[in-house]
């Protein structure tokens, strides 16, 4: 009812041990709705709409999330491409190379231009770095062997992203790590704005998986938070995979151990805090049960404990366990209580068995 789906008691207990949280940027820390912000012309023979038209032609055959804002902007400017390019070749981690008639169109980062040995890329690289430092994702557009311009796309930061990181730290998470395929400058700008401790940028899906595995080898209990198909391998590798269910793909939600069904990032520290409090409560109740059993056993062995007294003490300990578990409901005034009910019942049952 409160939008937190934990897929089993094992995952609840593991969540209580989490000390490192790895988060994807796009769609998790950001809203996942990028928009075109800048079109900078570097070729005097072209204007803004000309650069946008070539960029849209190359992106028309792409399934990359950043293609949509470019195509939408081209449509608004009246230069939307008619049909697709003759040939489109995605370059993972670099961009796209497209062929339209006798022209080759490149759109991507500086590594893409280096791959095709384009001359005079210094100005375009400098402009791209300035845009990236401002938190935007730049893409250099080149036609044949000439740089046409640089376009930039930005995805708005979620208003609760910084609060999420702060609450994660307060809930006992020592390190919050960003894993993103975006440029390092963009990633560091987002990290500075949100208070993230560690940044790994320019990653492919398999690199995110390797980064999570590396954190685990360092002895961390890792939760990975993502929303897309590309995050699924890392979600499966992490000790706890957390999917943003509202905006996430079906693959991510299915792979994850915890699904945040709403669009509220603050549910993540809430879930971890609940897990820690529930496990602590269970340990307290087991301790109460063991102490009660030990005292009754000693009383029986040395005399002085009758059947009536034993039953009275036993039932009193059961009530103490139940009341202690019900302390989890004390947050009812701030947050809906139903999500705690299952944890309380599970705690009581587990401890009663021990008694």
Residues with catalytic roles: 24
Q: What radius of gyration do the chain's Cα atoms show?
A: 27
SS3 297: helix
Torsion (CA) 134, 137, 140, 232 in degrees, nearest 10 = 160
Candidates 103, 180, 184; CA nearest to 145 is 103
Rounded Cα distance between 217 and 234, Å, is 14
Rounded Cα distance between 115 and 97, Å, is 11
Distances (CA, A) of 349 to 7, 139, 345, 355: 19, 58, 6, 10
Rounded Cα distance between 131 and 159, Å, is 22
Candidates 176, 328, 323; CA nearest to 242 is 176
Kindly provide the b/e burial profile for residues 319-354, where b requires at least 16 CB atoms within 10 angstroms of the residue's own CB. ebbbebbeebeebeeeeebebbeebbeebbebbeee
Q: What tokens appear for 312 in the block?
A: 């009275």
Q: What tokens appear for 351 in the block?
A: 């401890």
Residue with tokens 């988060």: 23
220 φ, ψ (degrees, to nearest 5) = -90, 150
- The H or E element spanning position 98 is strand 95-100
Q: How many CB atoms lie within 10 A of CB 316?
A: 11
Rounded Cα distance between 129 and 331, Å, is 47
């Amino acid at each position: 009812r409160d939008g937190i789906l934990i897929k089993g008691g094992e995952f609840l207990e593991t969540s209580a041990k989490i000390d490192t949280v790895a988060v994807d940027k796009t769609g998790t820390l950001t809203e996942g709705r990028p928009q075109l912000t800048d079109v900078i012309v570097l070729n005097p023979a072209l204007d803004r709409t000309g650069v946008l038209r070539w960029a849209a032609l190359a992106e028309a055959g792409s399934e990359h999330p950043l293609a949509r804002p470019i195509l939408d902007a081209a449509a608004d400017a009246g230069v939307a491409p008619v049909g697709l390019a003759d040939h489109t070749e995605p370059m993972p981690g670099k961009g796209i190379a497209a062929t339209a008639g006798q022209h080759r169109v490149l759109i991507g980062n500086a590594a893409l231009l280096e791959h095709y040995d384009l001359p005079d890329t210094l100005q375009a690289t400098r402009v791209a770095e300035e845009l990236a430092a401002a938190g935007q994702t730049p893409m250099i557009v080149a036609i044949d062997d000439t740089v046409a311009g640089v376009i930039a796309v930005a995805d708005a930061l979620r208003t609760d992203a910084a609060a999420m990181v702060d609450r994660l730290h307060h809930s006992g998470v020592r390190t919050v790590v960003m894993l993103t395929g975006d440029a390092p400058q963009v990633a560091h700008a987002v990290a500075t704005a949100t208070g993230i401790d560690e940044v790994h940028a320019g990653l492919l899906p398999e690199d995110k998986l390797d980064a999570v595995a590396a954190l685990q080898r360092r002895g961390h209990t890792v939760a990975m938070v993502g929303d897309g198909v590309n995050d699924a391998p890392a979600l499966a590798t992490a000790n706890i995979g957390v999917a943003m269910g509202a905006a996430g793909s079906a693959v991510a939600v299915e792979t994850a151990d915890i699904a945040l069904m709403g669009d509220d990032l603050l549910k993540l520290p809430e879930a971890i805090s609940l897990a820690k409090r529930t496990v602590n409560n269970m340990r307290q109740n087991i301790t109460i049960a063991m102490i009660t059993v030990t005292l009754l056993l000693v009383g029986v062995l040395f005399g002085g404990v009758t059947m009536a007294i034993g039953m009275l003490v036993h039932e009193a300990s059961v009530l103490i366990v139940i009341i202690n578990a019900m302390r989890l409901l004390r947050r009812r005034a701030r947050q809906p209580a139903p999500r705690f009910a299952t944890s309380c019942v599970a705690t009581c049952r587990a401890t009663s068995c021990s008694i």
